[in-house]
Structure 1
Amino acid sequence: MDFEIVAEGLAFPEGPIAMADGSVVLVEIRRQTLSRVKPDGTIEVIAELGGGPNGAAVGPDGAVYVCNNGGFEWIEAEGMITPHGTAADYVSGSIQRVDLRTGAATTLYDACDGRPLRGPNDIVFDSAGGFWFSDLGKSDGDRMHMGHLLYARPDGSMIRRVREGMVTPNGVGLSPDQKTVWVAETHTSRVWGFPIVRPGEIDQPANLWTPGAVLGPLPGYQLLDSLALEASGKVCCATLVNGGITAFDPAGGVEHTAFPDPLITNICFGGPDMQTAWITASATGKLLKCRWPRPGLKLAFNA
């Protein structure tokens, strides 16, 4: 697929948001910032967030809400950077709110029911104004936390674990009718689809062996990262190792589009027809742009 490089020199970009003015707001995990990439490639820092800012989404109040994983250590090799393990100064993960006008950042949540958030990763708002997010967990090289799917309100009034015991849950997205929440697991290379019964609640089947729809796994050694939905309902997952975007069709079928970076971490859609895609090529620090073959799904909120 043909693409252009919008920006280079980003410090492990993730969480892109296509903004109404044509810019892309994203996080730079290694730089610990929320940043804006203008159409001409100029990069400006909106907020210094600390830790490891990861997924990001615009909320109903026009602020950006950030999943902060608490931070990584980093490996540099062959002109690429890779996150590794847990930062030496790690305390916990959190959900942060950033005012785009002032850059002021506040911590909204750092725990749920007295249990700390370990490594919040990806986030999506529903039309009711609440948000779903994943907590991938952290690893110290010997132990790895189980992950969770959570739901919260942006006013700080409610947070709950909706689905526990997941294996490295990463990308999160909603189906066009908002009746299914899709969650990609990095290390299983599967995408789970959980039926939503009301905002923040999923159907909990009596049979634990059939907990939801499953897309994948992908063959060989491929890992899944963040995701976005197409207007048709296809689930577009950023794919690690076999760098690219893998589009899963819930009705059956998989399509992989390769990009030249082993750590393609996210995709977002925008433009007048929602067929412009921005893709984070994180190991090489680039933001890519291309024409996607099908329209992406418009998110609930933008700014």
Structure 2
Amino acid sequence: MCDVEVLFEAEGLLEAPRPMPDGSVVFANTTAGGVYRWTATDTTVVVERRRGIGGIAAHVDGGLLVGGRDLLHTGTTGRTTVLAVDGATGLNDMTVASDGSLFVGVLRHRPGAGEAAPPSELLHISPTGSVRVVRDDLLWPNGIGISPDGTRVYVAEFAASRVRVLGPEEASVFAHAPRGECDGLAVDVEGCVWVALGSGGGIARFSAAGVLDELIDLAGRFVSSLAFSGTAIYVTTAGALLRLDVGVDGLPVAEARVPVARLHVSGRVG
């Protein structure tokens, strides 16, 4: 059983933890609004008021890429909308590939209004700014991760309580949630996939073959997302930022190299 540290508590659904090179952790409060930076001494506001944030990525030029109603870059020079998708209700979780390209999930329903999730897209934004659809049949795309060799992309489908794996010749179901839903996810150096189980109150570790290997109980908590820093996992829940050491290194996530000039996508992309 891992020892669980409570680092920060607040009202609202905390989301999108992202450890930074300076040892801080940024995360969002998707219901109360805002992006925050936790350090060992205090927690400060990075982005005020913005709600519905399901994903955050660091950018190589400084600042952050932040999800929500669109994809926003926020830094010392202010805020820029990087990507807007017509007809979408928002852009959700994201991750960065080793070349600095970005994978991000599209929302086409309003979760807070209780709407059912229709099929939606996973987008890939290249370092040159080109946007393509990787898949368009995902049921509420959420956490995204990439295998150590870069050939497989894992995407959590919250509405289906499962993880899909997308590869050069496959687009299959990788694993089903042992309880709850599949929300945020992360990949370790052994190629295992760690999944936040939403209302299931825990974290599941699946082997590279999709077999349940470990289940960490966080009873009584809605577990929204997780991210590695070394062997530590930072976990967001409804009301808290947690940390636990799992004894295996996480796969490092690169900084994004996508353009921060505005892109615009009309309707469903290509």
Same fold (TM over 0.5): yes
On the 8 A contact 1:47/1:105 being kept in 2, the answer is no
The CA distance in 1 between the partners of 2:59 and 2:162, in whole Å, is 28
Cα offset, 1:176, TM superposition? 1.0
Aligned residues: 252
Contact 2:87 2:108 in 1 (8 A): no
Q: What is the CA distance between 1:275 and its match in structure 2?
A: 0.5
**Residue of structure 1 in register with 2:227 after alignment:** 268
Farther-moved stretch of structure 1 (141-150 vs 289-298): 141-150
The Cα offsets for residues 165-195 of structure 1, whole Å up to 9 and x where unpaired, read as 2111111111111111110111222211111
The alpha carbon displacement at 1:3 in A equals 1.1
1:152 matched to 2:152: no
The answer to whether the aligner puts 1:127 opposite 2:86 as a matched pair is: no
Q: 1:280 aligns with which of 236, 253, 268?
A: 236
Q: Answer yes or no: is the 8 Å Cα contact 2:177–2:197 preserved in 1.
A: no
Distance 1:131 1:257 in 2: 29
Give unmatched runs, 5+ long, in structure 1.
69-92, 196-202, 206-210
Aligned residue in 2 for 1:107: 81
Q: Is the 8 A contact 1:136 1:167 kept in 2?
A: no
Contact residue 60 and residue 301 of structure 1 kept, 8 A? yes
> What is residue 181 of structure 1 aligned with on the other side?
153
- The residue number in structure 1 matching 2:72 is 96
**What CA distance in whole angstroms lies between the structure 1 residues aligned with 2:245 and 2:136?**
37
Cα deviation code 1:194-220 (max 9, x no counterpart): 11xxxxxxx3x5xxxxx424222234x
For 2:205 and 2:146, locate their aligned partners in 1 and report how far apart those are by CA, in whole Å.
15
Aligned to 1:79: none
TM-score of the superposition, structure 1-length normalised?
Answer: 0.77
1:243-299 residue CA offsets vs partner (Å, 9 max, x unmatched): 1111111224212111144310111111xxx10111112x2x111111112111111
Using the TM superposition, give the Cα deviation of residue 145 of structure 1 relative to its aligned residue in structure 2, in angstroms: 2.9
What is the RMSD of the two structures over their aligned residues, measured on CA atoms? Answer: 2.1
Question: What's 2:250 paired with?
Answer: 296
Task: Tell me the equivalent position of 1:250.
Answer: 208
1:28 corresponds to:
29
Q: Which runs of 5+ in 2 are unaligned?
A: 257-270
- 1:70-128 Cα offsets, whole Å, 9 max, x none, are xxxxxxxxxxxxxxxxxxxxxxx3111111x46x22211111xxx33333211111122
